[in-house]
Structures are given as structure tokens and as C-alpha cells.
Amino acid sequence: MSASAAIYGVSGEVLTPDEKAFLRDANPWGFILFGRNIDRPKQIVRLVNDLRDCVGWDAPVFLDQEGGRVQRLKAPTWRAASPAARFGELWDREPELALEAVRLNHRLLAQELRDLGIDCDCAPVVDLAIPGADAVIGDRAFHAEPGSVAEMARAALAGLKDQGVAGVIKHIPGHGRADADSHFALPVVREDHETLHNTDFAAFRGVADAAPMAMTAHVTFTAIDPENCATLSKDVIAQIIRGEMAFDGLLMSDDLSMKALDGTLRQRGERALSAGCDMLLHCNGERAEMVEVAHAAISLSGKALERAKAAEEARGTPAGLDVAATNDAMARCFAEAGLEAPAP
């Protein structure tokens, strides 16, 4: 029997007996780690191994390691990576140097993950930096111009892939101009379809063929579907994500426990799968919620199973990486453009 269409977080730095029993029974396709799961490298390696032992195979393990405000592996144990906007500043001076710096940065991020047994990064962010929008994206975005964002996102995915890590573009079809933080409320975007086609959607369209996975936005686009946010919208997923953007990789929901969504966790999961998501993401480690999601998470089959297999294969084998030399090369990219280099 194939794995269930779910990725779960867990509650702490070690698995409890109840968690082990649940995960063995639920048989999720993957796992995601957060700050509450992280202490020291050896502890993370043990936790990753224990998670995979629960399902009996080399299941994907995810972590959000973008750099800047969103990095679960933090200094001083790990590198304090720069936010995406720093690379956007470099792009405005020397685009080719920016692309090289993005690739090098994501090789370093991937190496840190792979050293711990983690093989999927919920990055890069492909949302646009939109003035006046809610600050939840902000400097997590590379740039305001969709072509620039797409080019840098492709470089980020290539850097991750070099070190055997599969990337997840987010938050498709675009969270950059949202008027609220979807962790706490449902954002609404009211721009017309033509505007979105040429801006937010264009950024994702420019990287869709290079991305093995994408994470949805809990954002309502009134021009496409005024009743449902993208995660729960058949119209957004079929017409925009699978149609206009031609994204054919694995589509996972953003975290089902976020307050942008209503209804029970089971209802949220069922609606997301019915709308066209391939995979359900649940992050907070609350077991009662996880049980509800498990009731919605059907076994992977058909096209969703094909996409999951392709995402598994996208993890690859890490190449050798000289960390010091890679840091130095990235610093030179900034220095050549007259910008202060990121801290190593």
C-alpha cells in the first residue's frame, strides 16, 4: 500500500511512544521539522532516523531554511544566511553575479540540511515584494519584478539540487500582495486577472518547469475564485496553477492548521485534496489535529503518486562541497558589485 497523502510535524526533539504509534499507523509520505524539534546536530540526526524508521523507508524530510527571518537552523550552530532581498539588491547591480551568489548560497543551505539527513527545503519563495502589502513576505522575496524573481528562484533550485536537496517553491500562485498574514487571517487579493497574469503569476510561471514541488497560498484571488482560497479552489488549481502556470510537480497545501482556513482539520484536508492538491501539510505536532488530517489523507495514487515519486527522485545525491571556498566565492560576488558581503 502506498503512503498517505500527508506530511506531518511532531511535537518535540524526540518522538513520544504515542507519536511513533500514530506515524506507523498513518503512514505519511513525509515529515517536516521546526524550531521546537531542533537542539544539536546529533539530536536532529537521531530524530530524522526515528521518523523514517516509523514508516520503514527513506521518506522525505522537510524544513524551512530560506535565510533571513525564516530559518529553523539558527546561529551560532548554523550559518545565519541572508534573506532573499539581499540577493535582489545584488541583482539590481549585477544580475549574473546575483544568480551565482544565489546558487552558492543554496548549495550551502542544502549542505547544512543534508548533513542532518534532511533532504527537502521549503524554499525558495517566489512571491513578489509588493510595497504596501502585509509584511509576512517582505524581505523573504527576491525582488518586485517577476522575471528577476523567476531567474533567482531557478538558481536557488539548482543550488539545492547540486547538494541533493529538493526545493519547494512557495506560495503558489502568489502571496506577495496579500493584505494579511495567512497564519492569522485569510488574505484577499482583489487585482484583476490580467494584472496577476503579468506579475505574481508570471514569477511562478517562469520557474514552474524547474520545481519538483510547490506549496499553495492560503489566499483568496477574487478575480479567479471569490469564494475559496487557492488551497481549496478547484478553479485556481486547475486554471492557474496547472493551466496558466503549467506546473506539473507535486502540489502540497500550506499548513492546514493556519487560521486562514475554517472548518475542522478533516474538512480542510478533504477540501484541499478535492480541489486538486496532491499532499496535505500539517505542522504543529498536535496529535488530535493530526488524527483528523489522517482521516482526510487518502493513499497516494494515480497522478499524485507519480508526482510524489518524481519529487522523491529529485532529492538526488550530494556533490562534494568546500564550505569555506563556497562562502568566499559568494562574498566575492557581492564585493565585485560594491556591496557588503554576507557574514560567513
What was the pLDDT predicted at 253? 98
Distance CA 222, CA 192 (A): 8
Please give the pLDDT value at position 272: 98
234: how many CB neighbours lie within 10 A of its CB? 13
Q: Strands, E, within the chain: which ranges?
A: 4-8, 28-33, 61-63, 65-67, 70-71, 120-121, 166-172, 188-189, 213-216, 220-221, 250-255, 279-282
Question: Does the annotation mark 254 as catalytic?
Answer: yes
pLDDT of residue 1: 63
What is the C-alpha separation between 282 and 6, in angstroms, rounded?
Answer: 8
pLDDT at 330 (0 to 100)? 97
Separation CA 324–CA 88 (nearest Å)? 23
- The Cα 236–Cα 193 span in angstroms is 11
Render the burial of 114-127: b for 16+ CB within 10 Å, e for the rest: bebbbbbbbbbbbb
pLDDT at 6: 98
How high is the pLDDT of residue 344? 73
Catalytic pick from 58, 183, 295, 322? 183
Q: Tens place of pLDDT for every residue, the chain, 344 residues? A: 689 999 999 999 999 999 999 999 999 999 999 999 999 999 999 999 999 999 999 999 999 999 999 999 999 999 999 999 999 999 999 999 999 999 999 999 999 999 999 999 999 999 999 999 999 999 999 999 999 999 999 999 999 999 999 999 999 999 999 998 889 899 999 999 999 999 999 999 999 999 999 999 999 999 999 999 999 999 999 999 999 999 999 999 999 999 999 999 999 999 999 999 999 999 999 999 999 999 999 999 999 999 999 999 999 998 889 999 999 999 999 999 999 988 77
Q: 4-49+57-336 belongs to which homologous superfamily?
A: Glycoside hydrolase, family 3, N-terminal domain (3.20.20.300)
Catalytic pick from 119, 254, 255, 278? 254
Q: Round to whole Å and give the CA distance between 184 and 333.
A: 38
Model pTM score: 0.96
How high is the pLDDT of residue 181?
85
Q: Where are the domains of the chain?
A: 4-49+57-336
SS3 138: helix
